[in-house]
Structure 1
Amino acid sequence: MNLRVLLVTVGVAALAACQTPPPPPPPPVVVPQVTPRAPTPPFGASNLTIIPPLGVDGLRRTINRDLGPLETVWHVRAALNVAALSCTGPQYMRLVSDYNAFLANNEKYLRNANNAIISKYRREEGNGYRQVHDRHQTNLYNFWSFSPLRRPFCDQAVQISQRAIVTPEAEMETFGAQALMELEKPFVDFYLAYEGYEKALDAWRVQYAPAQAIDAVDETINTTGLTGGLVDPNAPATVPLMDRQLPASNAAPVVTSPAPVPSATQGTPTETSVPPTGE
């Protein structure tokens, strides 16, 4: 009996040895990690842009801060000048004629504003006032010329220009304060969007590029608030063809070369005019 059990056991063991072992379990599925693209600046702006800080009053410390009433109107005039030169398209055709009408309607007011501003620079800066004033004008035009915001700036400017030509001189200060705030709105919105981009970029670096998060350098250039280009403080101040009337045409003229900022001895924008196209 024991022999029979032994033989059966040996036979079962032999059969088991002849069977094919089961295949190994499949390897775990590895899903490749896709790294999303890094966030990019809003409006196609450069990642070298630096935005102005907030002041204690909650306003950005741009070139349009700490202005008197006459300076405020003058900064609005500069914005409309840039818009008349830069904004193209059927919806902006009226900007040139509106700007010229604004100059003509307020010739005396603008002359007094210009003289008062020059006197302020002479009083505060002494013998070097002219260079300081010219540099300020350059930065002012550069501010309004920031190309990523061309479309929203032009949309605001064409609304402001229509009010500018019907505003009486007695209401010019009130108009200037409101107009400057509206003209700056696209820039304020951009600053907020850019801050959001910087935060998103920091978060992306921490998650997907920790080495960048540790070694990232400050990729900013101080451009005095926000400007369309860098200004060499030691270079002579030059700006596009401004502070003068524009050609009475339906399209903004093409400026082929910069012209010097008017000096303190020059008068208001209406004292030098460009003839209409074709003359």
Structure 2
Amino acid sequence: MSRLKGLRLIVVAGGVALLAACQTAPAPVAAPVVQPQYTPRAPTPPFGASTLSVIPKLRADGMRDTINRDLGPLETLWHVRAGLNVAALSCTGPLYDRLVGDYNAFIKNNSASLRRANAAIIGKFQREFGSGHKKEHDRHQTRLYNHWSFSPLRRPFCDQAVQVSQRAIVTKSADLNVFAAEALAELERPFNEFYLAYEEYERDLEAWRVQYGQPTGS
């Protein structure tokens, strides 16, 4: 009887071991997949301009409020002369080789008209500022040259200046007023296009900030 009992114990123990062996181990729990957070690059100003650029406001007449607004015919001619002068000094390379010669020819061909234009502008400053007119006139001239010298637009401005200069040297004195009005608009075209592009950049940047926050380093 004891032998039978012992046998039963062995059989039971063997069955427990077999049952344990047949049980499937639980599958390991996979770690959650973490998707990397990607932040698109913040918009940048057009033409590599500074983020601190100040864009002239649009006036009620649809024109930008720049130094080239509200000019008489002689002032317009003088501002065109200044633009061509900046182009002759700063536009370099084979595409712009003719600018210096064109500018000198324009000055020579229209010396009398340009002297009248300069005298009219100085007279205007004398009337408006009295004894301090020279300082204000110098400040105005600096602003005018700085306007045409805006470095991010050097290439498109030079491209326009070449087209204007080719007409400048064949324009007769009697047609200078018409030429100057058209030339000023042409020289300003790259600037007006830049102003629109910069305002679009500002809108895009504001939308970017709403979604992603302030750009790093700002």
Structure 1 residue runs of 4 or more that deviate by more than 6 Å after TM superposition: none
1:171 matched to which residue of 2?
A: 175
Give the aligned CA root-mean-square deviation in angstroms: 2.1
- The structure where helix makes up a greater share of residues is 2
AA aligned opposite 2:165: S
Supply the distance in 1 between the matched residues of 2:20 and 2:63 (Cα, whole angstroms): 85
1:71 aligns with 2:75: yes
2:162 matched residue in structure 1: 158
Letter in 2 for 1:183: L
| Inter-partner Cα distance in structure 1 for 2:206 and 2:37 | 20
Q: Tell me the distance in 2 between the aligned counterparts of 1:137 and 1:99.
A: 18
1:53 aligns with 2:57: yes
Instruction: Please say which of residues 113-122 and 200-209 is displaced more in the overlay.
Output: 200-209
Give the alignment of 1:91-110 within 5 angstroms. Answer: 91-110=95-114
Structure 1 residue aligned with 2:25: 21
Matched, 1:141 2:141: no
CA distance in 1, matches of 2:170, 2:123: 29
How many residues of Structure 1 are paired with residues of Structure 2 in the alignment? 204
CA–CA distance in structure 2, aligned partners of residues 45 and 174 of structure 1: 33
CA offset digits 1:97-154 (Å, max 9, x no partner): 1000000000110111111111111111111111111100000000100111000000
- Aligned mates of 1:143, 1:116 — CA distance in 2: 21
Matched, 1:87 2:94: no
**Residues 158-184 of structure 1: CA distance to partner in whole angstroms, max 9, x if unpaired?**
000010011111111111111000000
| In structure 2, distance between residues paired with 1:62 and 1:16 | 90
Q: Percent identity?
A: 70
In the alignment, the residues of structure 2 paired with residue 43 and residue 137 of structure 1 have an alpha-carbon distance, to the nearest angstrom, of 25
How far apart are the structure 1 equivalents of 2:196 and 2:96?
Answer: 27
Paired amino acid for 1:100: N
Q: Distance in 2 between matches of 1:18 and 1:111?
A: 109
1:44 aligned onto 2:41: no
Q: Which runs of 5 or more residues in structure 1 are unaligned? A: 1-10, 218-279
Gaps of 5+ in 2: 1-14
2:206 corresponding residue in structure 1 = 202
Deviation at 1:35, TM superposition (A): 1.1
- What is the alpha-carbon distance in structure 2 between the residues aligned to residue 191 and residue 19 of structure 1? 75
Amino acid at match of 1:31: Q
- CA–CA separation in structure 2 for the residues paired with 1:15 and 1:203: 65
Name which one, 1 or 2, has greater alpha-carbon Rg: 2
Residue deviations 1:15-53, cap 9 Å, x none? 379613331442332211111221111111111111010
Query: How does 1:105-254 map onto structure 2 within 5 Å?
Result: 105-209=109-213, 212=214
Q: Provide the secondary structure at the position in 2 that maps to 1:194.
A: helix
Q: 2:208 and 2:86 mapped to 1: Cα distance?
A: 37
TM-score, with length taken from structure 1: 0.69
| 1:50-72 deviation per Cα after TM superposition (whole angstroms, max 9, x unaligned) | 10100001111011011111000
